[in-house]
Amino acid sequence: MDNNQNLIAQCEQVAKQWMTSSCYDAETQQAVKAMVENPDKTELIDSFYRTLEFGTGGLRGIMGAGTNRMNIYTVGAATQGLSNYLNKNFKDLEQISVVVGHDSRNNSRLFAESAANIFSANGIKVYLFDDMRPTPEMSFAIRHLGCQSGIILTASHNPKEYNGYKAYWDDGAQVLAPHDKGIIDEVNKVSVEDIRFEGNPALIEIIGKEVDDVYLQKVHQLSIDPACIERQKDLKIVYTPLHGTGMMLIPQSLKLWGFENVHTVPEQMIKDGNFPTVKSPNPENGEALSMALDLAKQIDADIVMASDPDADRVGMACKNDKGEWILVDGNQTCMIFLYYIIMNRQAQGKMQGNEFIVKTIVTTELIKSIADKNHIKMYDCYTGFKWIARQIRLDEGKLQYIGGGEESYGFLAEDFVRDKDAVSACSLLAEICAWAKDQGKTLYDVLMEIYLEYGLAVNKTINVVKPGKSGADEIKAMMENFRLHRPTELAGSPVVCTKDYGVLKAYDAQGAEQPLDFPEASNVLQWYTADGTKVSVRPSGTEPKIKFYVEVKSHMAQAADYPAAQAEALIKIEAVAKSLGI
Q: Which residues are catalytic?
A: 156
Handedness of CA 6, 11, 16, 22 (dihedral sign): positive
Cβ-contact 115, 86 below 8 angstroms: no
CA-to-CA dists, residue 281 to 315, 410, 464, angstroms: 11, 15, 20
Phi, psi for residue 204 in degrees, rounded to 5: -110, 120
Strands 400-406 and 355-360: parallel
Largest CA distance in the chain: 75
Helix or strand (DSSP H, E) at 401: strand 400-406
For residue 119, give the amino acid letter. Answer: F
Q: Tell me the sheet residues that pair with 546.
A: 464, 539
CB atoms within 10 A of CB 356: 19
The closest alpha carbon to 322, from 444, 449, 457, belongs to 444
Nearest-10 Cα torsion for 369, 370, 371, 376: 140
Q: Which residues are 151's β-sheet partners?
A: 100, 167
Contacting residues for 373 by C-beta, under 8 A, at least 6 apart: 454
CA of 132: how far to CAs of 218, 311, 405, 437, in Å?
Answer: 20, 11, 24, 34
Cα first-last separation, the chain: 34
Residue 562: closest CA among 460, 462, 446:
446
Q: How far apart are CA 350 and CA 224, in angstroms?
A: 9
